[in-house]
Structure 1
Amino acid sequence: MQSRKIRVGMVGGGQGAFIGNVHRIAMRISDQFDLCAACFSSDPARADASAREQGIAAQRSYHDYAQMAQLEAARDDGIEAVIVVTPNHLHFPIACAFLELGMHVICDKPLSLDSAQAEHLIALSQRYGKQLWVTYNYTAYPMVREARARILRGDLGKIRSIQVEYSQDWLATALERDGQKQASWRTDPKRAGAAGCLGDIGVHAFNLLQYMTGLVPDRIAANLHSFVEGRVLDDHAQIWMRFAQGARANLLCSQIAVGKENYLRIQVFGEGGALDWCQESPNHLMFSQLNGDTQRCSRARHHSDPAVQASCLIPAGHPEGYLEAFALLYRDIAAALRHENVASNAHAALRDMQFIEACLTSQKADNAWVDFPV
């Protein structure tokens, strides 16, 4: 029987913010959370207007995240977890403030600006016995989890090659010069961090690779480039990986790929089989066997892994997409916060920060191969 809903607050994600609304929709679908406090914006008028839209009481609409953490910690009915949906440079200080006052943290990616900050947050979560999650929502698609189950049980044999691509075209022109808010902070190293496209969507591709295959590279080489004149951070990157088990991987991420709206695809090739999943057809997984047929596997059908099939929100034939996958991740987070047997993804998020740093090191060394901490 489901216990009461988990009380949560949100920092960032006010009026006009894309990802904040996605989180709220996902929470509603999961039916596990009650959003009862927020610091939606540092602008008081915008913060309060956003709170009214979400039905949050005026006294729990905050204009400063540190004050929010202090006052919510002092309430008998205070929030149990905070959701951080701000630009990257604010993730670390906000997460610290809430962890240190005894609240769980659910953070948009990336977890921090560098691996040292990520390690510090993990240490804080362990010290205070609190959960630390990063919302890598693509890992919650049922057919991604189906692919993972098949790989881990050996359906493909030994993995030989992995190809993953995440391409968009929305930054093919200098939107940041026109004052477009999302483009402005994502191309600003002070707010986005040292990586642009790599840190924005490349980490999603790398995280998906880790999750689906269970493999972590031991060597990385990277080529990062900015095609738009005057842009400081990369808008296109190619990464090559070697694995101790013998596999090789290619990762392409781009935000200047004209015609690619939000194209995320991963292909895994083993000695005896292969898998191919694309977010543009998220309810299907292509499974090929050596010298055999290629099967189009559908979500929630009888061939699915039992745990994956049980996680589906609606029957086969009804499409589940981006929002439902986000909701499934929130369902996992709720289970973890209730001390059920679900592990946090914080250590994978740390590896994602180490991945960015390794790529930047390789780029500075003329695309040389560099060691990756396993």
Structure 2
Amino acid sequence: MSKVRMGMVGGGPEAFIGQIHRMAAGLDGEIELVCGVFSRDQQKNQQAGQSLLSNPDRAYADIATLFREEQKLPADQRMEFVAIVTPNDSHFDIAQQAIMAGFHVFCEKPATFNLAESEQLHQQLLDKPQLFGLAHTYTGYPMVKEARHRVVKGELGEIKKIVVEYSQGWLAKKFNNQLSKQGSWRLDPKRAGVSCCVGDIGVHAANLAEFIGDSPISSILADLDSIEPQRSLDDDATVLLRFANQARGVLLASQISVGQENNLRIQVYGSQGSLSWSQQEPNSLWLMWGDKPTELLRAGSDYLCDEAKVNTRTPAGHPEGYIEAFANLYKAFATAVKQQRGSEPETSQANGVPGIQEAISGMQFIEGTVQSSHAGQQWLALNHTHIQEQ
């Protein structure tokens, strides 16, 4: 069958995440990049078009032109979805225009600049056939799928506590905003929103805790800080968690932890056992028990659940890494697009992509942590009404 046709907004020559998306989308050979607006700088935009597209004329000058010109093309030629890999402040406008023009959306997280925009996007999607995917990459790892499976099956018993950490060190020293486009916009409240650290990585940790623990975060108490006095956004966060299933938790997110790279790890403690997973050792899932020896589960093994097997790409002993996990999301999204166009039968493989529900939950968490911290570290309930409606 024909490949799913993708457009991209952002991801020009100096944007590392755009290349990550392109590698992930192309890994299975099921998605083809056919058009885009890669940069506001037209020289860079055309440069990207020349290097990335079979038809460089489909590197458009702006998003309005992108959607207008792609709509004019025959159905079997125009893009089917757009990947949004721009800074946070433009996500909503691009997604809204894409949905109105009839295109599916796959968006970097957080989905929007603020919670109100995520809720508006949710309402817009309710009466539209368009699909919305969100790049919570870490849910694509096979051993994360296995961890959730063990929790949902009840093997750990009643979940009592979740401890999740995402630590980086790249903001540990005084940061010169002129040296990096990646750093400058993440520290700019006009482009990043109300948070740097929580909005960038803390929301990934929260999503992972909710995904594996199979329960939404119901209330939080947050302490956010910045190591540099002139920074207007947080670079470090400690958050106490309460989950809807009565479990308690702790979330640590930091971008000033000297020596840390991308240290995302989680421990889930139940009444009968516990589990532990680390993104820097992604092929391993530890199960720990009070009355028998600790077990080490490994990616690629026959004893894993079907969902873990479907999302495993290499034989046992070969690392299932970040690009592969990202590609699992893209593959599932492509499957959903094919099913909607009628070129592929309905299967559960299209259900592995975070969507608008996770978008709203993430924005509730980001804004809630800021509100809780600014109020003097007060407990704050998170409203999940919108998530439950869909």
For this structure pair, what is the TM-score category when the shorter chain's length is used for normalisation? over 0.9
Query: How far off is 1:226 after superposition?
Result: 0.5
Given residue 119 of structure 1, which amino acid in structure 2 is its aligned partner? E
Aligned residue number for residue 131 of structure 2: 131
Give, as a single letter, the amino acid of the residue that structure 2 aligns with 1:357. Answer: E
Residue type at the aligned position of 1:13: G
Q: Is 1:373 the counterpart of 2:355 in the alignment?
A: no
Percent sequence identity over matched residues?
A: 40
Equivalent residues of 2:10, 2:85 under 8 A apart:
yes
Larger CA deviation: 37-46 vs 111-120: 111-120
1:147-187 C-alpha deviation (Å, 9 max, x unpaired): 00000000100001100000100111232434311110000
With 278-287 and 112-121 compared, the bigger mean Cα shift is at 112-121
- Cα distance change, pair 335–241 in 1 and its aligned pair in 2 (3 A): same
Partner of 1:327: 327
Q: Residues 29-40 of structure 1 correspond to what in structure 2 (within 5 A)?
A: 29-40=27-38
The letter of the residue matching 1:222 is A
Counterpart amino acid of residue 22 in structure 2: R
Counterpart of 2:241 in structure 1 is 241
Q: Which residue of 2 aligns with 1:83?
A: 83
Partner Cα separation in structure 2 for residue 12 and residue 56 of structure 1: 18
1:272-322 Cα offsets, whole Å, 9 max, x none, are: 111100011001111111221111110011221123113311111111100
CA distance in 1 between counterparts of 2:145 and 2:22 reads 23
SS in 1 for 2:27: helix
Contact 1:176 1:187 in 2 (8 A): no
Structure 1 residue 78: Cα displacement: 1.2
CA contact (8 A) 2:215 2:244 kept: no
CA-CA distance at 1:138 after TM superposition: 0.4
- 8 A Cα contact 1:30 1:328, kept in partner: no
> What's the secondary structure of 2:53's corresponding residue?
coil
Equivalent residue number for residue 19 of structure 2: 21
Aligned to 2:222: 222
What is the 5 A alignment of 1:1-374?
3-76=1-74, 77-339=77-339, 340=346, 341=348, 342-343=350-351, 345-374=355-384
The alpha carbon displacement at 1:194 in A equals: 0.6
Q: Give the unaligned 5+ runs of structure 1.
A: none
Q: Residues 10 and 86 of structure 2 are in contact (CA less than 8 Å); yes or no, is this contact kept in structure 1? A: yes
Aligned AA (1:133): G
* Alpha-carbon distance in 1 for matches of 2:153, 2:83: 34
Measured in 2, the distance between the counterparts of 1:166 and 1:25 equals 24
* Contact in 1 for aligned 2:39/2:45 (Cα 8 Å): yes
For 2:93 and 2:233, the matched residues in 1 are separated by 23
- 1:270 & 1:26 partners in 2: Cα distance? 34
Instruction: Indicate the RMSD between aligned Cα atoms, in angstroms.
Output: 1.2
Post-superposition shift, 1:216?
A: 1.0
Cα distance in 2 for residues equivalent to 1:139 and 1:218: 20
In structure 2, C-alpha distance between the alignment counterparts of 1:67 and 1:175, rounded to whole Å: 37
Alignment length (residue pairs): 372
Kindly provide the amino acid, as one letter, of the partner of residue 292 in structure 2. G
CA–CA distance in structure 1, aligned partners of residues 234 and 198 of structure 2: 7
Q: Secondary structure at the match of 1:161?
A: strand
Distance 1:306 1:371 in 2: 36
Superimposed CA distance per residue, residues 252-286 of structure 1 (whole angstroms, 9 cap, x where no aligned partner)? 00000001111000100001111100011001111
Letter in 1 for 2:320: E
Separation in 2, partners of 1:310, 1:163: 27
